Amino acid sequence: MVETTEPAQDGTPEPRRLRVFLVDDHAMFRAGVRAELGAHVEVIGEASTVAEAVSRIAATEPDVVLLDVHMPDGGGRAVLEAVRRTRPEVRFLALSVSDAAEDVIGLIRAGARGYVTKTISPDELTAAIRRVADGDAVFSPRLAGFVLDSFASRPDAPVADPELDQLTNREREVLRLLARGYAYKEIAKELFISIKTVETHVSNVLRKLQMSNRYELSRWAADRRLV
């Protein structure tokens, strides 16, 4: 349950400001989330790497951690699994650009209480944080469908694909956006990276999957329901 503070002037108890920790490798995104949520929750810390996040979450003991899924040094799942070994009471809400089934299912299997995408509005995100703090599960209808399908049909089956496993998390993100028809410039803006970096990732994906152009990549991604 969400605790309350002293009653407001009209006698209505005001909800306690939840203590929230931000984990995301993009400083500009963290600053934006902090600015949007600052009036509704207490943002007690932030981190940009897995190691920094694990250390500072243990030190600050937040109510809810907003967790990016893909980061260069391991990703949100590594943070979640490390923290839960010693702080099982901390609740995690994934906040990601990715809405891929494998990402959603992977985080939920690791123990996250919810998963929302970065297109969520500030008011919706605040409400999601409070629901997760109360012990509820929070998903958009599309993402909830992934979870239900996975646990209902293959409760113990691992999500594995040898070809897909060759790709880094960032390469998967670039592939997914490419398959959705994004131009290189749009991918760079969406992922906060340079166009040159996008080109490098695409080149690496083509080489690893032994394909020659983006159209083959799009069909490959669609066949695996990555789009």
Q: Is the dihedral of CA 156, 153, 108, 15 positive or negative?
A: negative
- So what's the pLDDT on residue 154? 54
Residue type, 141: P
8-18: average pLDDT: 65
Residue whose structure tokens are 């929302």: 116
Three-state SS at 17 = coil
Local confidence band at 41 (pLDDT 50, 70, 90 cut-offs):
very high
Pairwise CA distance, residues 177 & 165, whole Å: 18
Phi, psi of 140 (to 5 degrees): -70, 160
* Tens-digit pLDDT profile for residues 96-128: 888 877 788 888 888 899 999 888 899 999 999
Dump strand ranges (E) for 100-175: 114-117, 138-139
3-18: average pLDDT: 60
- Whether this model's pTM surpasses 0.85: no
Residue 50: which residues within 8 A CB-CB, separation 6 or more? Answer: 71, 73, 74, 75, 78, 79, 82
